[in-house]
Structure 1
Amino acid sequence: MAASARRLCHIAFHVQPEQPLARDLQRFFGFQPLAAREGDGWRQLALRSGDAIFLVNEGAGPGDPLYGLDSRHAVPSAANLCFDVDDATAAARALTARGCCLQVPPVIMQDAHGAATYTVVNSPVGHLSLTLLERPGYCGPFLPGFGPVPSVPGSCWVTHVDHLTLACSPGSSPTLMHWFQDCLGFRHLPLSPGEDPEVGLEVTAGVGRGGLRLTALHTPVNSAVPTLVLAESLPGASSGKDQVEQFLDRNQGPGLQHVGLYTLDIMEATERVAAAGGQLLMPPEAYYQQPGKESQILAAGHEPSRLAQRGILLDGDQGKFLLQIFTKSLFPEDTFFLELIQRQGATGFGQGNIRALWQSVQEQAARCRRT
Structure 2
Amino acid sequence: MAALTRRLCHIAFHVPMGQPLAQDLQRFFSFQPLAVREANGWRQLALRSGDAVFLVNEGAGTQEPLYSLNPCHAVPSATNLCFEVADAAVAAQALEVQGCRTLVPPVSIRDEHGAATYTVISSPVGNLSLTLLEHAHYDGPFLPGFRPLSYKTGPGWISHVDHLTLACTRGSSPTLMRWFHDCLGFCHLPLSPDEDPNVGLEVTAGSGLGGLRLTALQTSPCSTVPTILLAESLPGATRGQDQVERFLAHHRGPGLQHVGLYTPNIVEATEKVTLAGGQFLTPPKAYYQRPGKESQILAAGHEPSQLAQQGILLDGDKGKFLLQIFTKSLFAEDTFFLELIHRQGATGFGQGNIQALWQSVLEGASPQEQA
Fold-level similarity (TM above 0.5): yes
Task: Report the counterpart of residue 275 of structure 1 in structure 2.
Answer: 275
Please state whether the residue corresponding to 2:364 is helix, strand or coil. helix
Question: Could you list the per-position Cα deviations for residues 3-51 of structure 1 after superposition, in whole angstroms to 9, with x for gaps in the alignment?
Answer: 0011000000001111000000000000000001111111100000000
Please state whether the residue corresponding to 1:56 is helix, strand or coil. strand
Task: Report the counterpart of residue 208 of structure 1 in structure 2.
Answer: 208
Task: Report the counterpart of residue 62 of structure 1 in structure 2.
Answer: 62
RMSD: 1.2
Q: Mapping of 1:1-371 within 5 angstroms?
A: 1-151=1-151, 154-349=154-349, 353-356=350-353, 358-369=354-365
Please state whether the residue corresponding to 2:10 is helix, strand or coil. strand
Unmatched tracts of structure 1, length 5 or more: none
Contact 1:205–1:355 under 8 Å retained in 2: no
Judged with a 3 Å threshold, the aligned counterparts in structure 2 of structure 1 residues 221 and 355 are, in CA distance, closer, same or farther, namely: closer
The AA in structure 1 aligned to 2:351 is: I
Judged with a 3 Å threshold, the aligned counterparts in structure 2 of structure 1 residues 284 and 133 are, in CA distance, closer, same or farther, namely: same
The AA in structure 2 aligned to 1:98 is: Q
Please state whether the residue corresponding to 1:144 is helix, strand or coil. coil
> TM-score normalized by structure 1?
0.97
Contact 2:315–2:352 under 8 Å retained in 1: no
Unmatched tracts of structure 2, length 5 or more: none
Quote the Cα distance in structure 2 between the aligned partners of 1:115 and 1:146.
12
Please identify, of 278-287 and 158-167, the stretch whose mean Cα deviation from structure 2 is larger. 278-287
The AA in structure 1 aligned to 2:17 is: P
Quote the Cα distance in structure 2 between the aligned partners of 1:116 and 1:370.
47
The AA in structure 2 aligned to 1:354 is: Q
Please state whether the residue corresponding to 1:205 is helix, strand or coil. strand
The AA in structure 1 aligned to 2:290 is: Q
Quote the Cα distance in structure 1 between the aligned partners of 2:12 and 2:43.
12
Quote the Cα distance in structure 1 between the aligned partners of 2:238 and 2:272.
39
Question: Could you list the per-position Cα deviations for residues 87-129 of structure 1 after superposition, in whole angstroms to 9, with x for gaps in the alignment?
Answer: 1101101111111100000001111111111000000000110
**C-alpha deviation, 1:369, in angstroms:** 3.5
**C-alpha deviation, 1:222, in angstroms:** 4.3
**C-alpha deviation, 1:253, in angstroms:** 0.2
**C-alpha deviation, 1:348, in angstroms:** 2.6
The AA in structure 2 aligned to 1:249 is: A
Contact 1:30–1:155 under 8 Å retained in 2: no
Please state whether the residue corresponding to 2:99 is helix, strand or coil. coil
Quote the Cα distance in structure 2 between the aligned partners of 1:166 and 1:191.
16
Number of aligned pairs? 367
